[in-house]
Structure 1
Amino acid sequence: MLQQFYPQVSHSYTFELNKDMHLAAAHYIDDERAGDCRNMHGHTYFINLTIAGDELDELGFLVDFKRLKTIVHKRYDHTLLNDHQEFASRPPTTEEVARQIGLAVQAELDSMDNKPVCLQVLVRETPTSYVVYRPKPGEST
């Protein structure tokens, strides 16, 4: 697993957790301007989620790490990202993958009584390239 320090998000929440995970997926960017990325190819994506909140659930968790992994890993691991509905209008660039992960995670967090917040999603596509997505408060698209 990727062991590193991530860009930090300034916040005033009491608790912050970070969950690292990785998944294997393929994608392509169907546009001439994408160069070689126009061809289908795969990556081992490394993902870090930053979740924060002030209240813990009845078990003492901000959110169970396993729940976060299920949201992301179960959905995208060993898939062709272009086949997912959320990439129908925008191609699965690293930026868009980070945004869609953030939206999916926040949708799950919104269902929890203690209302944690996804502050940041980091998606590393290669050893030298990554994207950080930080949703603005109230963002839904």
Structure 2
Amino acid sequence: MIQQIYPQVQHSYSYELNKDMHFAAAHFVPHEAAGKCQNIHGHTYFVNVTIGGDELDESGFLVNFQVLKKLVSGQFDHTLLNDHDQLFNEQNANDFPTTEVIARKIYELIQAHLDVLPNKPSCLQVFVRETPTSYVVYRPKQVRNHG
């Protein structure tokens, strides 16, 4: 993993967890303005997820790192992102597999998992690097402090 300083998100939680992950995947952007990106091509995506919370679970974790890796890398590694019909489609620009949308969809997957945990942590930020020179940060508008 590339050692990276990520943009910081302000919060009032006692705990902040960051998990770095990566996955290799192909995609294409189904719009004429995407230029060459309309063609199937691949990237090694580097992802950092920031999670905050005030309570640890019965194992002493805010969130289990292995679960986060399974939710992201385990689902997307060595796939064509466009084939993930439950997340991406070719009809709505908000669901095209662009880096921006990928970051938001990763947030949604992770937050859906966090919402069922008794300690109720919150996903604060998702950082997705698509190339050495291009990345996106997604932060939800409202961070839910459950404490």
Aligned-pair distance for 1:137? 2.1
Structure 1 residues 138 and 7: alpha-carbon distance in aligned structure 2, compared to 1, 3 A threshold: closer
5+ residue gaps, structure 2, are none
**Percent identity of the aligned residues?**
65
What's 2:15 paired with? 15
Q: Does 1:126 align with 2:131?
A: yes
String of CA shifts for 1:52-93, please: whole Å, max 9, x gaps: 000000111000100100111111111000111211132100
CA RMSD of aligned residues (A): 1.2
Contact 1:15 1:54 in 2 (8 A): yes
Distance 1:54 1:16 in 2: 9
Contact 2:81 2:97 in 1 (8 A): yes
Q: TM-score, normalised by structure 2?
A: 0.92
Contact 2:122 2:143 in 1 (8 A): no
Q: Does 1:95 align with 2:96?
A: no
Contact 2:27 2:42 in 1 (8 A): yes
What count of residue pairs does the alignment treat as equivalent? 139
What's 1:116 paired with? 121
String of CA shifts for 1:4-53, please: whole Å, max 9, x gaps: 11000000000001000100000001111101101100000000000000
What's 1:104 paired with? 109
Aligned-pair distance for 1:96? 0.2
Distance 2:116 2:70 in 1: 15
Q: TM-score, normalised by structure 1?
A: 0.95
1:87 alignment partner AA = F
What's 1:70 paired with? 70
5+ residue gaps, structure 1, are none
Aligned-pair distance for 1:2? 1.6
Contact 1:18 1:48 in 2 (8 A): yes
Distance 2:117 2:2 in 1: 28
Aligned-pair distance for 1:138? 7.0
Aligned-pair distance for 1:110? 0.6
